[in-house]
Structure 1
Amino acid sequence: MPHANINLFRDYKRLAKLFYEGTVFVAVDTETTGLSKNNNFLMEIGAVKFTVDGSLSLYDELIKPREPIPLPLVHLTGITQQMVENCPPEEKVLPSFLNYIGNAVLIAHNAPFDIGFLNTTLERMAFSHLKNKVIDTLPLSRWAYPQFGQQKKEHPYSLQSLAQVLNIEVKAAHRAHDDARVCMELFKKIIEDTKSRQVDYSILKTGSLFDQELF
């Protein structure tokens, strides 16, 4: 079953409710030594914890992967073997990351990739998979901005393409800490731009809907 190990939240019309009731979110991104969660390894985890009131904290850890970083990935991310040589291994980093996210709702762009890598790493360590609710901003963006799919542009829903079109500043593309920040800004932008499609948005802040369970 696709995404069977990812607890995806798909009720996009209730995202504003989730946001404005003060839910703690963690936008997360990973950089890896390749595309295969079974054959490649984490080399960076970046995250931003935030609520409707703003950013709460940042998380950024370089990881010494179990294999050398391929040259194309060095060029893409700017992460060199020398940079990670004295960094902690995944076994040291993942427990601190789990402590950081707690029970927060996770947000990722193309979540099956990032959460899949994290779950495979946790499995290798004999840890349970992540049980957090996850919001994937890739299908969310397609729902929010269907018109972007009509553009004659390659990968119109990539994080960098969306950032460019929506005027979200990118400071360090393909570094986990900045991609996580961009993902957070994308999520907030979507909440703002889809107000008219959100369930009873006009009365969200009155609290009259907050007794309804989302999960």
Structure 2
Amino acid sequence: MPHANINLFRDYKRLAKLFYEGTVFVAVDTETTGLSKNNNFLMEIGAVKFTVDGSLSLYDELIKPREPIPLPLVHLTGITPQMVENCPPEEKVLPSFLNYIGNAVLIAHNAPFDIGFLNTTLERMSFSHLKNKVIDTLPLSRWAYPQFGQQKKEHPYSLQSLAQALNIEVKAAHRAHDDARVCMELFKKIIEDTKSRQIDYSILKTGSLFDQELF
């Protein structure tokens, strides 16, 4: 089961309630030396912590990976061997990242990839998997914007395609810190654009559902 170790939140109609209650979110993205979480390694973790009131803080760490960075990924990300040569290894970075996210709700685009890499790295270090609730903006975007799937454009639900379609500024595509920021903006845009499909917050405040757990 691909999502067995990921605590995914799927009740999309309650996202506005979750957001406006002041929940702390952390949008996260990773850059890796390849696509296999078992055979490749982290080389950057980027994250942005935010609430309904705005961004709280940024996190960005380059990691010295356990294998050379393939040339195509150097070209894609702009991360060179020289940039990571003197960076800390994953064993030093992951504890600081765990401290940064705390119990926040995590947001990632194609979460099984990023969270899967993080969990595999934690497992290699004899740490427990992440227990945070996770919102995956990839299926969330398909729910929010089904019309994009009818376009002839290749990969209409990629983070870059969604950013272009929704006029979200991209400053440094395929760098973890900026992809995390774009993911945050996408999440907030979806909440704004799906207001009519969200459970009404003012009604919930006086109804029995208000006291029920969202997860």
Q: TM-score, normalised by structure 1?
A: 0.97
Q: CA deviation at 1:210?
A: 3.8
Structure 1 residues 54 and 208: alpha-carbon distance in aligned structure 2, compared to 1, 3 A threshold: farther
Change (3 A) 1:204 1:57: farther
Shift of 1:2: 2.5
Distance 1:138 1:114, change over 3 A: same
1:144 Cα shift? Answer: 0.2
Residue 107 of structure 1 contacts residue 135 of structure 1 at CA under 8 Å; is this kept in 2? yes
Task: Please list every run of 5 or more consecutive structure 1 residues that lacks an aligned counterpart in the other structure.
Answer: none
Shift of 1:67: 0.3
CA shift at 1:206, angstroms? 7.6
Go from structure 1 to structure 2 and tell me whether the alpha carbon gap of 1:97 and 1:175 turns closer, same or farther (over 3 Å shift).
same
Q: Secondary structure at the match of 1:210?
A: helix
Query: What root-mean-square deviation, in Å, do the aligned CA atoms of Structure 1 and Structure 2 show?
Result: 1.4
With normalisation by structure 2, the TM-score equals 0.97
* CA shift in 2, pair 1:31/1:150, >3 Å: same
Percent identity over the alignment is 98
1:211 CA drift (Å): 2.5
Report Cα offsets for 1:43-72 as digits up to 9, x if no partner: 000000000000000000000000000000
How many Å separate the matches in 2 of 1:118 and 1:82?
A: 23
Q: CA deviation at 1:200?
A: 1.7
Please report how far the alpha carbon of residue 110 of structure 1 lies from its aligned counterpart in structure 2 after TM superposition.
0.1
Compared with structure 1, are the counterparts of its residues 22 and 208 closer, same or farther at alpha carbon in structure 2 (3 Å cutoff)? farther
Do the aligned residues in 1 keep the contact of 2:2 with 2:112 (CA within 8 Å)? Answer: no
| 1:177-198 Cα shifts (integer Å, max 9, x gaps) | 0000000000000000000000
- Tell me what 1:87 maps to: 87
Partner Cα separation in structure 2 for residue 19 and residue 208 of structure 1:
19
Name the stretch that deviates more: 196-205 or 146-155. Answer: 196-205
Measure the CA separation in 2 of the matches of 1:204 and 1:99: 33
Task: Tell me how far 1:203 sits from its aligned partner.
Answer: 4.0
Matched residues in 1 for 2:49 and 2:142: separation? 24
- Encode CA deviations 1:2-57: one digit per residue, 9 max, x unaligned: 21000000000000000000000000000000000000000000000000000000
Distance in 2 of aligned mates of 1:21 and 1:73: 40
How far apart are the structure 1 equivalents of 2:31 and 2:207?
A: 39
Aligned residue pairs total 215
User: Deviation of residue 204 (structure 1)?
Assistant: 5.9
Query: What runs of 5+ residues in structure 2 fail to find an aligned partner?
Result: none
Report the 3-state secondary structure (helix = DSSP H, G, I; strand = E; otherwise coil) of the residue aligned with 2:209. coil
Q: Secondary structure at the match of 1:28?
A: strand
